[in-house]
Structure 1
Amino acid sequence: MKWLVGIVLGVCGLMLACVGLIVMVVIDSDAHANEIGDGGGGLRGVPSEYRPWLFKASAACKDHRELTPALLASQLWNESKFKNTHDEATSDAGAKGPAQFVDGTWATYGRDDDGNGRNSPWDIGDAVMSQGRYMCSLLGDAKSSGFGGDPRALALAGYNAGWGAVERFRGVPPIWFARRPGQAEGETYGYVKAIMADIPKFQGGGLLEVSGNGSGPDAVRRAAARMGTPYSWGGGTPAGPSTGFCDGLNGYLNGQCSASSTVGFDCSSLVQYAYWPTTHLPRVASEQYGATSGRAVSRSELKPGDLLFWSKGGSGSIYHVAMYAGDGNVLHAPRTGRNVELQPLTSAMPESDYFGATRP
């Protein structure tokens, strides 16, 4: 571990200049070496209504490198085939919804994550986020247990059979194990094996494919692996997403402070994260412009990885930064209530505020 002191924590918001706060953060010097690549962080073969929740559930877990969106998607597929009707997603044991929660477990992990006023295992947002919370807790148990084997497999076994069964066998229960009298043997063993085997089927680069080599394309690929991660004012570090803060004006959603409980990125932390393995950019959007303004790029010559800036009047009023992703699109963290996403350059931010582009 190494201490980085005096990093300026800059945060970006729509129609507002970045603000700064001097903080001390701890960065794992090896964090980027283990970071999920483009293939590991994206998704394919997943219904559109599940995608944002899978990214959000993964990002909310401190062990997000293990609890990837693809692992959660594979688990959902094996639990319910992404079904969420009472007829299609109710088991003989009374498990309900796409993530197959029994009432007792839902009472612990269930939340109204989609904000529709009900806490229901049948609602996709509620179910996926609760699945993520439960799996994240089990991953923590697995890592601290001292048991052998892949912590992901141990967590999956705990999800299916209960953590007590994992403790009993000090690992994934054997093939002859049955969860309860009269149940077929090997269900938990097969459950874990199937989910782990199916993870590659759901891995992908999401909506963005980036060609070429070099720091620019590499940075876009790294950021693309975080598509779907929530915006969090003040959140995000070079090591990954984190909770942010509210400053009296920014970070609020529907009148409530959202940033302090949202694990994610703001516009400039996403850019800093994307480039950090090779290029250590400043934290604030205006300072990122200052650090790269000597390499200005015209709009007609943009390449993947170039930084684009929006301002309300000069370099001192820059309020947003995004990365050019190719084909006229930008990859960015737009604002509170949105996720890291791909948008056309012409509509990502007010066209009249476009200030210019640079190449790190």
Structure 2
Amino acid sequence: MKVLIRAVAAVIALFVLAVIGLLTMVLVDADAEATEVSDGGGGLRGVPEEFRPWIFKADQECKEPELTPALLAAQLWQESKFKTSEKEATSRAGAMGPAQFMPGTWATWGRDADGNGEASPWDIGDAVMAQGRMMCSLLKQAKASGFGGDPRALALAGYNAGWGAVERYRGVPPESFARGETYRYARDILANVPRFQGPGLLEVSGSGTGPDALRKAATRMGTPYAWGGGGPLGPSAGFCDGRNGYLGGTCVASSTVGFDCSSLVQYAYWPSVKLPRTAAAQYGATSDRPVSRQDLKPGDLLFWSHGGSGAIYHVAIYAGDGNVLHAPRTGRHVEVAPLTSAMPDSDYYGATRP
């Protein structure tokens, strides 16, 4: 993080680190063997491999829907262009590492996320997870503040200049503040988010009902979640039932064209396997073909329950390499996520093979 205001004899001196560059976008064509997919929260592309798992993990740990992998990636690009060396990722103000943390701020947010025995702003895992935690907290503040504008812009401004600057101006500080550095920081990151959004490339190997269903579902990555929406023919508007389909107290499902968890599965397998509509019914229709967690194959169905087969509340498609493809919840999109964190691991009920 670049906090560029330093007090010198009661006069504020501003140090601005200009970050200018072009990102070469990765263009991927979908076909039967290599399907276009997003990797979570609307997708991710053009990001170095060593950053990708940490960006997804940081996104998964934040429950604020405004935080997406693409937003975190665009912010890292603005901060450091994904550089990790001391020479390339140290600002004139003293900010350090790929996420540009000042020492005082790092003391608040830094943890040993990668388990190497040291919490360091130079470690990719430590830095990205700290970035995600701080942005998640700032997004909560932004939405609770009552200030106008995009809460993402407010959070980014808080990351760059401190939340106090946002409170002072009751919004993103104007161009007259800090020579426009904070204003441009928020503006440029949001403008770059589409460059980092999916699709990425997921190789689905093999043939047969399961891999074919996974390929079909993967073409819907990035589609919004809509409670009650979707079916065999594709996404559709959902509905609210008094408990589900709401975001921030507002019914959003009825105005969102998308899938919920079970309609995505039904769509993926249709018409080869005509599964019923709900997750519990899909378990009932396939429970005679159980699969152990150690023997999962792409296309297998995974279920989560609050207790027993009658309380199944979520279904996902196994995507290989310990990941699942699913429609997680209101406010999110069809995405790929680690099996261990897609839903509470303690709720995992079992898997079947349609």
* TM-score above 0.5: yes
- Partner Cα separation in structure 2 for residue 82 and residue 273 of structure 1: 38
Residue number among 156, 178, 198 corresponding to 2:192 in the alignment: 198
Q: Which residue of 2 aligns with 1:279?
A: 277
Unaligned runs of 5+ in 1: 1-36, 179-184, 227-237, 240-269, 297-304, 310-315, 342-354
Contact 2:79–2:99 (CA under 8 A) maintained in structure 1: yes
Q: CA deviation at 1:207?
A: 2.6
Residue 140 (structure 1) shift: 0.5
Quote the offset at 1:292 in angstroms. 3.3
Q: How far, CA to CA, are the matches of 1:276 and 1:119 in structure 2? A: 44
Contact 2:95 2:102 in 1 (8 A): yes
Q: Which amino acid aligns with 1:204?
A: G
Displacement after TM superposition at 1:333 (Å):
4.6
CA deviation vs aligned residue, 1:299-351 (integer Å, no higher than 9, x gap) = xxxxxx95368xxxxxx9xxxx97376xxx688459xxxx638xxxxxxxxxx
* Corresponding residue number in structure 2 for 1:307: 300
Q: Which runs of 5+ in 2 are unaligned?
A: 1-37, 205-211, 225-243, 246-259, 268-275, 290-297, 303-308, 310-314, 326-336, 340-350
- C-alpha change, 1:223 and 1:134, in structure 2 (3 Å) is same
| Deviation of the 1:217 alpha carbon | 6.2
Inter-partner Cα distance in structure 2 for 1:187 and 1:276: 49
Q: Deviations over 1:134-182 (max 9, x none)?
A: 000100100000000000000000000100000010000001111xxxx
CA offsets 1:13-50 (integer angstroms, 9 cap, x no match) = xxxxxxxxxxxxxxxxxxxxxxxx87852211000000
User: 1:280: how far off?
Assistant: 2.1
Deviations 1:253-296 (A, max 9, x none): xxxxxxxxxxxxxxxxx9769549993213xxxx85432369x9
Give 2:59's aligned residue: 58
1:1-360 matches, within 5 Å, as 40-63=41-64, 65-178=65-178, 185-208=179-202, 219-220=217-218, 275=265, 279-282=277-280, 288-292=282-286, 306-307=299-300, 323=317, 332-333=323-324, 340=338, 357-358=353-354
Shift of 1:223: 7.0
Structure 2 contact 41–222 (Cα < 8 Å) conserved: no
Deviation at 1:206, TM superposition (A): 2.6
Alignment-mate amino acid for residue 190 of structure 1: R
**2:144 aligned partner, one-letter code:** S
CA-based RMSD of the aligned residues comes to 4.0
Distance 1:110 1:324, change over 3 A: closer
What is the Cα deviation at residue 218 of structure 1? 6.6
Calculate percent identity across the aligned residue pairs.
61
Q: Tell me, in whole angstroms, the C-alpha distance in 1 between the residues paired with 2:119 and 2:220.
A: 34
Quote how far apart the aligned CAs of 1:209 are.
Answer: 8.0
> Compared with structure 1, are the counterparts of its residues 292 and 223 closer, same or farther at alpha carbon in structure 2 (3 Å cutoff)?
farther
How far is 1:62 from its partner? 1.5
Aligned pairs, number? 229
Change (3 A) 1:225 1:82: farther
Q: Provide the rounded CA distance (Å) in 1 between the counterparts of 2:154 and 2:128.
A: 19
What is the deviation of 1:201?
0.4
